[in-house]
Chain A
Amino acid sequence: MIAELIAAFLKIVLVLGTISLVVAYLTYLERKIIGHIQMRMGPMRVGWHGLLQPIADGLKLFLKEDIIPSKADKIVFVIAPIMVLVPAFVVYSVLPFDENFYITQVNVGLFLVLAVSSLGVFGIVMAGWASNSKYSLLGAFRSAAQMLSYEIFLGFSLIGPLMLAGSLNFQNIVKAQSDVWFVFYQPLAFIVFFIAALAETNRIPFDLPEAETELVAGFHTEYSGMKFAFFFLAEYANIMAVSTVCIAVFFGGWGGIDAIPLPGIVWYLLKMAVLIFVFIWIRATLPRYRYDQLMRVGWKFMFPLAILNIFVTGLVKFLFL
């Protein structure tokens, strides 16, 4: 009992520590990749090719004055960044990293991930409302509408692969893909999932909640110092979580090509690296959607597509399997 507890605790510390560190370096990676795509060098000053930049940034944020606006609702204002960060990290408790390396394994795994990640929107709405600023409130409004609608497509796009796997447990979903990855059976679901994931993580082209050019910084306009860093950390932690779900459901999790014997965790990290590169690549390439376009794309294009995918999957499964 005690040994189990200690082992679980160590695993949690390991996963959380790694994620916090990787998240810090994701910001560096993002700036560097976007810099090179735009024919710049990106951060170069701190350390060799700017490698120490995230640490300098972290120190700067840590030492900055923590401003709470005088007209803000103080309690909600303080809780909001925590409410964003906690769901982003709780999700990792059920995500699969390797066949034998996961924090815990629950029967409703995928469903739990969807449920917990849907809570992030509370932090954003709370932040927007508590700041008592019009830009924050507008950002929060947009974010609530956007995340609420794209959550639906995210869930619906996952139903197709789930029907093939026949389980909500991540381990079983990955094991069901030992022959063929679901992305080949479910290309439509993958497209819908990926677009919805971009919208859920508030990335370009769906970064309306924090559209810099119109809303200053959206819902976190009034935040500074560590509280601002929390929103930042949560965004990147969410990107990694969504990539992990994508890998587990569409790209066979830790499974790789049999000809190249590599441990599962290496395959997982490779896939993760590719997906995160794609995320950053999209940010460097695409412009932002307008709000009405965002809603039109969601409800008139992606929603029917997701429903169609479920229908076709069900029909094929009923007729041939």
Chain B
Amino acid sequence: MELLFFYLFAAGIIGASLLVVTRSNVIHAALLLVLTFFFMSGVFVLAGAEFLAVVQVLLYAGGIMVLYLFSIMLMNAEVSVRLRQFHRQSFFTIVVSLILAAEIWWKVLGGGAAYPAFKGFSWTLGTTPGNVEALGSILYTKYLFPFEVASILLLAAMIGAIVLAKRTIDR
């Protein structure tokens, strides 16, 4: 059952992401990317990361992708549908990607790499002292410093985005 759902989500992710990188209409690509994120959130639930799954929908689909759609409409990017979509070096790109794929396949999946035996979490999905509580406590104790650094990073990105996108008015 779990495996079946995993294959379903995986097929969705791969199909939708292939469409994302090949569509000529930017808005369609963005909407398909949202679909990809939904399927990924499904995979996260299967992997016992329910908090992360919701964060995926809330932040990626509900936040970042709305920002993308908003900017696409601001930039009037739909006109680029009629233009050439791919670089002239696309052939080499495909070769490089295939090499990369082969490399990952050989290094990560094949080659008899030893993986740790399955341990699993101490809690099960959906129980009340579960993923959220565990994640919260580890995030605010062991990983408190990286957490603070990440918040500084977000602040810097926010200021940077405002400075870059602000229209300077010459008087």
Residues of A in contact with B (beta carbons under 8 Å apart)? 73, 76, 105-108, 111-112, 114-116, 118-119, 121-122, 125-126, 129, 137, 140-141, 144-145, 148, 151, 167-169, 172
Contacts and interface: CB of A to CB of B under 8 A. Distances in A.
A129 B27 CA distance: 9
A167 B128 contact: yes
Nearest to B69: A125
Given A76-B28, A129-B73, A107 B58 contact: no
B168 interface: no
Contacts of A112: 54
B62 A108 contact: no
Interface in B69-84: 69-70, 73
Contacts of B51: 108, 111
Contacts, number: 73
Interface of B is mostly: helix
A115 B58 contact: yes
Main secondary structure of the interface of A (DSSP, over half): helix
Contacts of A108: 50-51, 54, 131-132
Interface residues of B, number: 26
Contacts of B127: 107
A121 B128 contact: no
Contacts of A76: 27-28, 31
Nearest to A172: B128
B30 to A, nearest CB: 10
B128 A115 contact: no
18 contacts: A76-B28, A106-B126, A107-B50, A107-B126, A111-B51, A111-B132, A115-B54, A115-B62, A116-B57, A119-B57, A121-B62, A125-B69, A129-B27, A129-B69, A129-B73, A141-B73, A144-B66, A169-B128
Given A121-B66, A125-B66, A125-B73, 14 more contacts: A107-B125, A107-B130, A108-B50, A118-B58, A121-B62, A122-B31, A122-B34, A125-B70, A129-B27, A137-B73, A141-B70, A145-B70, A148-B63, A172-B128
B61 interface: yes
